[in-house]
Amino acid sequence: MKYIIIMMLQITAITFAQTFKVEKVNGKVKMLSNGSEQWQDLKQNSEISGNSIISTDKNSSVKIKNDDVLFTLKESSAISTSNIKKMTLDELVLALAMENVINSPRNQNKKNSESTKVYGEKLNDKNSNLSTNNDFGFKRLNGAKQLSENGFKESAIVTAKEVYRKYPETKKDAVSRIYFADLMYERGLYEEAYDEFKEIKSLNLNQGQISYVSDKLDQISKKLIKK
């Protein structure tokens, strides 16, 4: 437990050093800087500090870059710049373990209280133009999918798990749940993928999704037996 926390703090410390520059802005794009509760309009050539949150409206997009990354956030999406990073499989496993610790029953009440306080205040700001926290959660899921599409698959998985924790309503979205569970399976995290698909099975699925999830559980069960 202590080892996990120390490792995650080391990873976070590296991430916070990231600074991005805005290459191009289309439409309406806003940024929430680390430690701020006021959304700001993002403009070309602006600098974005580590752990800032970027949000795009419909028909809007933004292209940002640093020394190692060129990333375009598409419309109706949101992302924390701290998630735009390459992760090793070991780092992914540690991050998922940390999520499990945070989601443990004894931390549940504390987590909900802090989440409401911190994220509720920020997202209900009069300048945010976001109708509800859950709307923003779905925006962040869109951002997580774009991480995967740009090769940051491990970070995409961690981001999705974080979104599901902070915005529980998003966990009912079967399409995204299947998408990220498939990513876990693809990365060889069979136990984690199996647990995820088991949860997905309890959602309100259509017939095609029911069949897909059942087949996936069978596939993973066979792989786990062989381990």
The span from the CA of 50 to the CA of 44, in Å, is 17
Q: Where are the domains of the chain?
A: 2-172
The span from the CA of 195 to the CA of 190, in Å, is 9
Q: Where are the beta strands (DSSP E) in the chain?
A: 20-26, 29-32, 40-41, 47-48, 53-56, 61-65, 70-73, 78-80
Q: Give the percent of the chain with pLDDT over 70.
A: 80
pLDDT tens by residue, 14-71: 444 578 999 999 999 999 987 778 999 999 999 998 789 999 999 999 999 998 899 9
